[in-house]
Structure formats: structure tokens, C-alpha cells
Structure 1
């Protein structure tokens, strides 16, 4: 992996740094980029000769030192023509399976007003509540939306089956349970929604993430470890792999291939772990790093870019191949901590939230804020971090209000406010995550409870 500082799995007391061994490509441009650049210059010079601008062509050739000399050619014209035709086709490309099932997602370039087929979040209702022995701080959905997980300050992790939660909340099931209790018969434990309870951390579980392809759950903790659990085994309690870090973990996200895991900690240095070897990679360029703890990290769906948010008030876009920061949004929330970042499904936009109680939509191609979703937060300033998320079709933006423990919602395209939803928690909502496939979301709160919300058919 070019331009990565490569270090052994980071052990407590031995933080990674930018002086780690790197490949020769760290200095200067990667070889493939150099070849592409030289070819482009040769095409330009050939086109200038072909069009009769000999003096300009010779001057440019002397400046870029092309060898051998470029003969007159109109190849550049053909390349550009083919590229324009390809661009035209891509705008009308065939939709993939996800887009056919969930819609194309957010794309303001082609559609600013769209009739949503997804229900407003205010129509969702709680169908199941699970409790921990400490504040619930982490939550995640599996890629198929059939499982969800919660993590707590009590160091425990619960994995819940979505179908069982729905079944348990049905009226027919409630009547059956009431009859069993009246007859003195215990309810069938085989249908309990909590299918796994995992105990392997020593301190608070701060982040959870399901593997995109395998039955593996990754967890990060304040005990300086990342643990991988194989939840396909009914008897599993402990992790099959542990990766030690030098700082408490704050956020995790899997690469779409599942081979790499990006992690943020209370240290300002972003880490990328090889899941198979436990090697840790950091950027070899110190000036590219954040200056304060990292609150949120996400990979784009194509795996080419990363986005990170920090307490230093900035959002950084990273090239995932070269591990270079390619764009920084300074003072993204007017100097307030940036609490969360999420890529849109097509990778064109980043949704962010900050402690200024604002939610913003950023366009990557221009590095500018397109939309600010306002009206959340009665005080205008949060004390705790909260996440802004898209619903599963990206038609709505959702954000929990800290003071009222209600859910604020906006139309993602025009920022119009939708109806509030009382989340029913007795403490601040510390994590909110939406199902990737269904009209359902999970809220985790300091009241030691996690609520599963769904819009019934």
C-alpha cells in the first residue's frame, strides 16, 4: 500500500508515528501517476503539432523533456471524444441491485425534488427495548439488516435478531405469552431476540461494526483493544482475534471488501488495520493528521476514499490508496467539535454533525457546504456527541436532539423540517444507526437501554 507508514500492531505505551518505514514512493509521485502524466504531455504535444502549432509544441516539449520526440497525431482528440461519450452513457447507466431496491439515493445534480417511497421517521414505533447494566453507547446493523448489536459501558455486547424482535412485539405473540404465564409455563427461550451476549472487554464498548461479508462483529473499547467475534458459533463469548492499540478506541469502519478496518481513537492519528495480519498502517505525512481526538470515520462504498471527523473542528477526506489527505474542511462547524460523518451511497456527498447542533451536507467535488439542516437543539450547543444519519433510501436526514431526547428530521434534498418523534429515552441518545435495508433504526442511550424502531407494514 503506497505512502503508508507501516508499524507492527500498536501496543499500549508504544504509539505509532509518522517516522515508520515507508516505501520509496513516499517521496514524489507514485510510478503509475508519473507514467500517466508523461503520456498526457505527449498526447498534448502531438495534438499541437497536428494542429500546426509547431513553436508551442517545441517549447512544451523542451519544458517537460519528452524523449523520444512526439510525432504529429490526433490521438488526443479521439481519446477525449471517447471519454465524452462514456460520460454521457454513465449518466444513464443501468442501476445496480441496491439502487433498484432502495432507489438511486441522494444526487442533487439530477434531482432536487423527489417523491419519497420511504416513510417519515416520525411514523416509526418502538417494537423492542433491551437493557444493559450501564449506559448504552454503541450500536450497529448487519449489512443485510437482519441483526443488530449494542454495546455498553458495562463492557458487554448484545447481538439481537430483528425478526425475533418483530415477532415478540406482535399482538398474537403477546397474547400467547400471557396465556403461558397464566398457565405457569415459561416462555420459549429459543425465540428470545438476544441471540448472543459477548463478554471480552474490560472497559466500555465504544464502537461496533459488522463485517460486510462474514459473520464477524468488530468492537472497539476504552480498554485500548479492537476485538473480532465470530457470532456464527452459538457458544461464542470471547473474541477470536484481538488487536491492541495505544489509545482508547472511539470509532470503527470496515472497508467494503472486509480486508481492512479503519479506526479512530483519542489520538489524532488515523489507523488502518489489516484484518488478516493485524498490521497497522498510518499516514507517513505528519501534517496530514488531525490535531485532536477523532470522533468518526467512514469508508466510501467504492473503498477509494475515507472521511474522518475530529474534535479539532475539521473534516478530512483521505485517498485510501495513497493514504494521503486530499481535502480538509477547516472549521466545518464554526470551530465546534465535529461529531459524525457519513458518505452518501454514491460517494458524492458527506453528511456531518457538530456540537453546534447543526447538520451539514458537503459536496466533495467542490469542497463546499450545499445544505445546512437547522432547527435542532433548543440551546444551540450540545454537551455530548450525537450522530446525523441518512435513512435507508437517503430521502431523510435524522438527528437526535440532546435536550429533548426527540428525533429531528429533514428532507435531505431541500432541508424542509419534518415532524418530531419522541424517542422515549430517559437519558441522552449516544448512538443512532439506521438499518441499511429496511425502515428501521436503533437508538442507544445513557438510560442503559437500546430501542429498536420500525415502521410496520
Structure 2
């Protein structure tokens, strides 16, 4: 009942009821409404509904089992550190979590093997008789002429897309051991800031310092833009993300707006104006079930938006309290969507929250000597990567025996 009151915008009554019954803090949810509708319609099949019918990840309509929560982010430890010659500002995990990539202002890209990084950090865990694994850095790519601004792996193949301020997006076939140069190049006339693969891998959306979003056919390199110019942003596109089903994709901009686009027609179907009080949008991430969108902005606040109502269903606060944020910072889910992670620029520490109720968790020092410019979490394991202006990228991992 408290969750339903909060969902309906009746926070005052929800707080009073919560204090009266001494209930634990809970997330906004319209679950009570669905229960009522279920009873009125006498739908017996509703009684059989369970969490097995729901896609994995956060869903505020269902209560998770406390014992099923993943390890908290503060329990992760640095397992490996790699360095570039200049600031490191881009990173990515492969679709299966076996590889990570880092990109730098020095225009270089490194690809690292996750198993090798873990073996280097804990050689005692290597099985007896098994040979020591090789160096974690398995590829170093030099094919850009300016800062590598964004990296993303193909969702199905061992292909890496790299965006750069040199105005190109380059596709590398990293399955080939000798690869040094891209096998395909998408050329733009503006510095490229972000990319997102369509879930099939056949298309790639590209955001640049220009206000018009581009979508490229990966196979033909043909470029598509919306047929309605008025639907575009008013400033450069800072972030773009496809939903897991590709029915939608979302963009954020320096203009402070978040736009939701139809994945087939390419038309803008919704605009969340001044989503972060007018501050530039830094990052976007859909939940696995496609119901919600996580956003971060230059106001150091993280929101979880309910897409069907276009309103923030949860707010994650507490970052940026010791100093104004000067650089863009990503907010990401962990691999189970139990937690939200966000690097605090002033303290160089990791802020994290329970994704459902917004409770802030223990801070974790990230060990960098400069601002953390990028963070990304593994899709299937308790591991994340931080990239910093101190030239370093740190690979973090939570081993099973950590307390």
C-alpha cells in the first residue's frame, strides 16, 4: 500500500503510513493496482504469476528475495590495472563478458582478456598442472588520429566499434590475432561522442557534436536520419542506447532533453524535456525488461524513469555533494540490476545504491589519481571497469570468498 501511494505521487501519506506501521523503506510500485484489477476480473491465471515469468533484472512490480541479491559493489577489489600514455576515457565489456576494451586520448585501444587478468591477480587460484596464462593485453589497436571517445562490442560477434573525435567510427574484427587496423570505417563530419549497436548488430546509432542523430547500416554503411528535423535535439548528442528488444532507442543531449525513438520508423515518440533540471545528459541505460530507463546528468543526480509514464520512479542522490561535477559521468547497473553505480568526481569514490528503494550503500574508493571519466559493468559477472584521467583503467572483481 505504501508503494502504491508513492507511485501515485502521495508521498506525504506514504510517509505517514510508513511511520505508523514502522515499515522498511520501499520503492514506488503500482503492484497493488494490478492485484486489485486481478481480483475484479477473477483471472485465475494471475494467481499463478511468479518471478519466473519476468525477465531478469529490476522490476518494481515484484519483490525480490533478499538472499538472492548480488554482492554489494563496495566488496569488489582491484584485480588488474592497465595504463595508456594519456587519459583513459572509454571502456567496454564484450557481450559474453570475456573481454574488456579501453580507449584513450592518445588514440590507442587496448583489448584485455578477463580470465588472464584474474589469473594475474590471484595466481594461487590457478589449478595445479595448468600452465600460467599469457599477458592480459591481447590486442593494441592504433587506427585513430584523435581521442577514442566511446567503445562498444558487437552484440553477437567478436567485433569492436570505436568512436573518435577524429570523426570516424571504426569496426575491428578482433577474432583475428594479427588485426591492427579496422576492416570497416564509418566517416562523419563531426567528432563522434557515442555509439550503440542494434541488438541484431546490423545497425549502429551514432551521436556526434551535431544535434542530428545518425543510424548506419553496418553492412552497407548507408546513413539514415529522422525524416522530421524538428524532432531532433537542439545540441550535440551525448549518449544513445538501444532497448534490449530494439523496439525503442533513447538519446540524451547537451540540451538537457532525453528523447525516446521508435526503433522501426526512427521517429521521436516522446521527449523528456529538461530531464535533469536542464543539465546536460551524461548516460542512459535501459533495464533488461525494457520497462525503465536509467539516466545520469551533469547535476550529479541519477534517475530511474518509468517509460510508460515518462516520470522518474526512483531518484538516487548523494553524489556530487562535496564538489560540482565538471565532467560527464556514467551511471550503470550491476549485472543483476540490484544496484546502481556512479563515480563521484570530487572524491574519486564509487557511489552505489539499492536500485529498488534508492538507499545509498557504502562508499568505495576507486584508487584513481584523477577524475573517473567512464565506468562500465560486466553483463554477467561481479566485475566492472573504471577509466580515469590518471591514464589508467582499473578492472574490479568480487571474488566468491570476499566478505
Match of 2:168 in 1: 225
Match of 2:235 among 280, 292, 300: 292
TM-score, normalising length: structure 1: 0.75
**Post-superposition offset of 1:91:** 5.4
CA–CA distance in structure 2, aligned partners of residues 90 and 241 of structure 1:
50
Is the 8 Å Cα contact of residues 333 and 356 (structure 1) preserved in structure 2?
A: yes
Instruction: Please tell me whether Structure 1 or Structure 2 has the larger radius of gyration of its CA atoms.
Output: 1
Is the 8 Å Cα contact of residues 204 and 215 (structure 2) preserved in structure 1?
A: yes
1:324 aligns with 2:267: yes
Match of 1:110 in 2: 62
Match of 1:434 in 2: 377
1:392 aligns with 2:319: no
Distance 1:288 1:91, change over 3 A: farther
Distance 1:213 1:456, change over 3 A: same
Is the 8 Å Cα contact of residues 113 and 413 (structure 1) preserved in structure 2?
A: no
Distance 1:235 1:329, change over 3 A: same
Is the 8 Å Cα contact of residues 51 and 62 (structure 2) preserved in structure 1?
A: no
Instruction: Tell me which protein shows more helix as a share of its residues.
Output: 1
CA offsets, 1:96-133, max 9 Å, x none? 8xx5xxxx211112237854431000000001000000
Distance 1:91 1:323, change over 3 A: farther
Match of 2:203 in 1: 260
**Post-superposition offset of 1:214:** 1.0
Distance 1:206 1:85, change over 3 A: farther
1:214 aligns with 2:157: yes
1:139 aligns with 2:91: yes
Q: Secondary structure at the match of 1:453?
A: strand
Q: Secondary structure at the match of 1:219?
A: strand
CA offsets, 1:24-45, max 9 Å, x none? xxxxxxxxxxxxxxxxxxxxxx
1:124 aligns with 2:76: yes
Q: Secondary structure at the match of 2:275?
A: coil
* Structure 1 unmatched ranges of 5 or more: 1-83, 177-186
Distance 1:363 1:86, change over 3 A: farther
Q: How many residues are aligned here?
A: 357
CA offsets, 1:353-407, max 9 Å, x none? 1111100110000111111111111246311000000000000001000000000
Match of 1:243 in 2: 186
CA–CA distance in structure 2, aligned partners of residues 357 and 116 of structure 1:
29
Match of 1:195 among 115, 118, 138: 138
Q: Secondary structure at the match of 1:242?
A: strand
* Equivalences for residues 18-97 of structure 1 within 5 A: 92=50, 95=53
CA–CA distance in structure 1, aligned partners of residues 374 and 295 of structure 2:
14
Is the 8 Å Cα contact of residues 141 and 434 (structure 1) preserved in structure 2?
A: yes
* Equivalences for residues 280-359 of structure 1 within 5 A: 280-359=223-302
CA offsets, 1:60-117, max 9 Å, x none? xxxxxxxxxxxxxxxxxxxxxxxx9899599558558xx5xxxx21111223785443
Q: Secondary structure at the match of 2:58?
A: coil
* Equivalences for residues 361-380 of structure 1 within 5 A: 361-379=304-322
Distance 1:154 1:119, change over 3 A: same
TM-score, normalising length: structure 2: 0.84
Q: Which stretch shows the higher mean deviation, 411-420 or 86-95?
A: 86-95
Distance 1:331 1:93, change over 3 A: same
Distance 1:334 1:88, change over 3 A: same
CA–CA distance in structure 1, aligned partners of residues 48 and 164 of structure 2:
43
Instruction: Provide the alpha-carbon RMSD of the alignment.
Output: 2.3
Match of 1:451 among 386, 394, 399: 394
Q: Which stretch shows the higher mean deviation, 374-383 or 257-266?
A: 374-383
Match of 1:27 in 2: none
Distance 1:235 1:127, change over 3 A: same
CA–CA distance in structure 2, aligned partners of residues 147 and 291 of structure 1:
36
Is the 8 Å Cα contact of residues 357 and 380 (structure 1) preserved in structure 2?
A: no
CA–CA distance in structure 1, aligned partners of residues 333 and 320 of structure 2:
18
Q: Secondary structure at the match of 2:225?
A: strand
Match of 2:116 in 1: 164
Is the 8 Å Cα contact of residues 112 and 414 (structure 1) preserved in structure 2?
A: no
**Post-superposition offset of 1:217:** 0.4
Match of 1:67 in 2: none
Match of 2:100 in 1: 148
Is the 8 Å Cα contact of residues 322 and 347 (structure 2) preserved in structure 1?
A: no
CA offsets, 1:4-36, max 9 Å, x none? xxxxxxxxxxxxxxxxxxxxxxxxxxxxxxxxx
CA offsets, 1:290-320, max 9 Å, x none? 0011111100000110011111011111001
Q: Secondary structure at the match of 1:408?
A: strand
